[in-house]
Structure 1
């Protein structure tokens, strides 16, 4: 690419710390900086644990700005919305670079929170790329009234304003098929899957003691926490000598707290920062991605699967979305029927009874992670898409 490249990542995700969305963006940033390119982050309405306070800063050479933290449904909303858009458009103007190709990378596509900023970005000369990671048409969590209104607005905007995109990135085959039908043939579309960095230097075999089954991530309905708890309780009662460790955050955590507290073999450790989080994953014996079989769960692709595989530990994963596109059952992962607590229990019991075989599956899974989910390879796919804009 002969001219300079300036990419502004925009969306409602934590930065510089956070979970799946943050890590996806950071991996793209790392590759683009080595390209080289200028990278910035415009964080919309930052919420949740792992998001530090303040209006912005600089992280590893990437300037970032937060707007909209004060947006609330009260009498001050009209004024807050004015300043939200004023500040957002102001940052897009400030970050625009003469003589370079300006790209506005919108994580999550077009939403009520970013639509006016996208329109402003287009008028300022930005090329707009949407990163679609879910099909919110089939969202299966219970929504509050504001949440339902936001969902409806998102559906309308996605249907009628998708034409604002100059390029589209999707995370799964399902979404590639769906958005391939929605967008014009002239708009480049690229499947860029999850990414994870493999570092097996910390692996040294299973430690003595109870086998540690681990789940780390969000606690949304699609994540199947209820299924995992049910399966573990059955196996622990039958076999003993095992623990279930849970880590992460989300509004649904409280739904499981009483059940967790009632069983000494189950422990919830809360939200962990990046360094603690990866130590937590490395310390597991078996990692679990037990999603439901809903259309919502099948549409995306669990980012945590890549992080799990990268540890070299064996992974139990539900057969959703693109899992079998990349992994083979009992070779690279233990793949179970989605939504089936009995199947999950069988996989947990297998790991207890065959730890050496499970360990070999984990090593093969790490090799598949390096093959398919390399952050540098994904970064190259993004650069190739940008070249086509």
Structure 2
């Protein structure tokens, strides 16, 4: 492992290269490993695109130096449930065949997904080929179980994580949970990541206040209500929402809220955008906002978009939830608002807009914080060192 020419496979059921938070985190992982001398491939083990909304069409290629491949041979899912189920079985067999054929160089495999069936396939391949299998986890297990039935939930909780040689966890709170519930599991902390080698260029600032992410459970309704108060004093600004809701109902409710507030000309729903477009829009925004409420997700997880916000040097308004206050201080490197409080969120936004010189200084300090705490080059180097110390030198599974 000391030889820098080792291989990293990131296997995922998330879309690539266009996607939301998970895709952006995968890109940051991959770019960091590449800078540290690794060969990296992103393997999409499932079809990710709906026929009505296709953002990724290429089944293989190179994106920003990252090799990627869709194992199913196509990116688009069938509109028929039975066909999707059959594709899932066939896709699993194709993944097993592919992994047996391509795990010959004993790669480090990082699984970024939720399927226990996929995890079992990767485990079988890693045992046959002697690779190291890691799990990337950035949510509390209760969030994962919410979308599963009783049987699959039981399997996920009691079997899924035991299939891996180690886990990469996004927060210290999540580490505490795993140490208590999976005491024998090797654990490494990987905070949110920013691509330190692709720092955004300073753009001429627009009149846009921007949010980027998945709308569900992210306080977007609170943000719209706060913006309704902001425009009374700052009518020249627009609120730009980049991303989407996983549930159609959520986006319909948000659009209805915008209509009720007579903000249809000032709130822009952009939908999902390519990673480079997101970076450009964040860079030229006047202000970046995140209104995540208090929740299990906020307590054990961490909004990955925050690193991308901070690295732009633009001022950031964010709610003080989870471990965010461990890294950011109000009026020093960000503006921290009370979670769920429309009034204080509005006040923080207006404070940043009212004093642009001070906001610029706070934004610059935010960038420094991102480079110090969330640098993907440093963090992936630490992962390599952790693997060498804990999963190679110890002779675990005699893999290297």
TM-score, structure 1 normalization:
0.87
- How do 1:57-72 and structure 2 match up within 5 A? 57-59=61-63, 60=65, 62-67=67-72, 70=77
Aligned to 2:102: 95
- 1:201 positional shift: 3.5
**Does structure 1 residue 212 correspond to structure 2 residue 243?**
no
Q: Distance in 2 between matches of 1:73 and 1:358?
A: 51
SS, match of residue 202 in structure 1: coil
- 1:164 positional shift: 1.4
Q: Distance in 1 between matches of 2:93 and 2:143?
A: 33
**Does structure 1 residue 122 correspond to structure 2 residue 126?**
yes
Aligned to 1:182: 181
Aligned to 1:42: 43
Residue-pair matches, total? 374
Q: Residues 367, 214 of structure 1: CA spacing in aligned structure 2 closer, same or farther, 3 A cutoff?
A: same
Match of 1:195 among 168, 193, 196: 193
**Does structure 1 residue 85 correspond to structure 2 residue 88?**
no
SS, match of residue 336 in structure 2: strand
Range with bigger deviation, 6-15 or 76-85: 76-85
Aligned to 1:153: 152
Aligned to 1:244: 239
SS, match of residue 101 in structure 1: coil
SS, match of residue 106 in structure 2: strand
Q: Residues 7, 154 of structure 1: CA spacing in aligned structure 2 closer, same or farther, 3 A cutoff?
A: farther
Q: Residues 74, 283 of structure 1: CA spacing in aligned structure 2 closer, same or farther, 3 A cutoff?
A: closer
Match of 1:256 among 254, 257, 263: 254
Say if 2:238 and 2:266, in contact at 8 Å, map to a contact too.
yes
Q: Distance in 2 between matches of 1:70 and 1:279?
A: 30
Q: Residues 139, 317 of structure 1: CA spacing in aligned structure 2 closer, same or farther, 3 A cutoff?
A: farther
Q: Distance in 2 between matches of 1:58 and 1:325?
A: 36
Per-residue Cα deviation, 1:322-374 (whole angstroms, up to 9, x for no partner): 21111111100001111111211111121232222112111110111111111
Say if 1:219 and 1:250, in contact at 8 Å, map to a contact too.
yes
- 1:45 positional shift: 2.6
Aligned to 2:311: 310
- 1:154 positional shift: 4.2
- 1:113 positional shift: 4.8
- 1:234 positional shift: 1.8
Q: Residues 161, 282 of structure 1: CA spacing in aligned structure 2 closer, same or farther, 3 A cutoff?
A: closer
Per-residue Cα deviation, 1:214-241 (whole angstroms, up to 9, x for no partner): 11111112x1000001111122235534
Say if 1:42 and 1:66, in contact at 8 Å, map to a contact too.
yes
- 1:13 positional shift: 1.3
Q: Distance in 1 between matches of 2:276 and 2:62?
A: 19
Q: What runs of 5+ residues in structure 1 fail to find an aligned partner?
A: none
Aligned to 2:164: 165
Q: Distance in 2 between matches of 1:380 and 1:40?
A: 17
Say if 1:42 and 1:64, in contact at 8 Å, map to a contact too.
yes
Range with bigger deviation, 344-353 or 286-295: 344-353
Q: Distance in 2 between matches of 1:152 and 1:331?
A: 48
Say if 1:317 and 1:336, in contact at 8 Å, map to a contact too.
yes
Say if 1:102 and 1:127, in contact at 8 Å, map to a contact too.
yes
Aligned to 1:356: 357
Range with bigger deviation, 131-140 or 292-301: 131-140
Range with bigger deviation, 62-71 or 363-372: 62-71
Aligned to 1:379: 380
Q: What runs of 5+ residues in structure 2 fail to find an aligned partner?
A: 392-400
Aligned to 1:294: 295
